[in-house]
Structure 1
């Protein structure tokens, strides 16, 4: 299945969420083996690419989306330090695609999904969507089937989540009818009067799409992901297991829904 993780505001935990969902997928099996994940880093900052430590950066997603002589998507993926995860790397030059991407580039991920050309290579594709809602985001949203929207439990976070949902709805109506918002993920949650009020308001607004449990704030998440390039569950700190469990539950319920749709 093709999954995207996006945000309306910066600092919403989108990249951590995408990485943790990718790792969660590899903990499940298909045909008796771990599921294989292709990670597409559409964020020009390339933070997820750095974390995954690709074997090579000679070719990346920017080359797949290039206006002339594009590279086939399958050739952009390289092995990473995370078992069963390959990445189509991002770098700062990916930002150029906002200016020169053609209609072919805009729809390349959608065509790849519909054609099934990646099915023999990966069981899941996870797309880390960029912060800005431009052509790169549009290309990602046109490709995916399931969208997770991450938000901090703040007023601005809730507003950003609503903006992303509106954008996804427009993409769904105009070019990707298979796209559905599979859930809003509250990240960096700490119990408190203000955060609980915001979460309550988000639940009224988004209903069952507000996923539970909220992902708890843990100080060592940046240390594990950013500094040591390690999934939360593998870091060896029991406090991070709750974070890993939350993302595992989000992945599992989406896989169950997706499998039910396929039958």
Structure 2
């Protein structure tokens, strides 16, 4: 895949590659170019024998605020919408399956698709002031980016449903308590990230990656199925009156009035 964009920065330092989402003006909201850029860079990293760890982060004040609102507002038909969803699916599968150890370093918001992206990594480290939310429900949508798969794996079916249905913003400590993330930095995020990376680099990384590959291969069919169900389900939700009301309320900065249709 040959795709050039300035919306993703890649830095390689020894055995560690850092992927930075570079749309700080929109809190790293994920548009098609950002999604495709991440796919391209991940595939580039995947082919490198020198890189063992991939750190995913966002530039500026947030990890990622989720899907780009302009995409939500557009009246795309299925022929336009499905390629975007297919790109999201490719990104999630690529990140989940990459034969490297992956860490999401979260500052600020990780919401919606941004949270789904983080959940696809092996380890989530969050700043103590960060906020995490699976908040699709607020605009009448369902989670995508494989969130149904990742939440059910981490929480079980019943708790996953209620996290999705509530759509509440969680503090880093709340997310840690739920088992949604692995660590909250006690002080600044960077020293905690460096400590985690240093610890992993001192271990037999190839054995760790082999375990990851075995589990990823086992789970791949289910994740692919979930991504396909999310794609078609999301298209149906975009046609509902509740979604239209959710978007309108978001723009008007008011509480939506849903009618269940």
**TM-score, normalised by the number of residues in structure 1:** 0.35
**TM-score, normalised by the number of residues in structure 2:** 0.35
Instruction: From the two aligned structures, give the one with the greater helix fraction.
Output: 2
Higher relative contact order (CA 8 A, sep 6+): 1
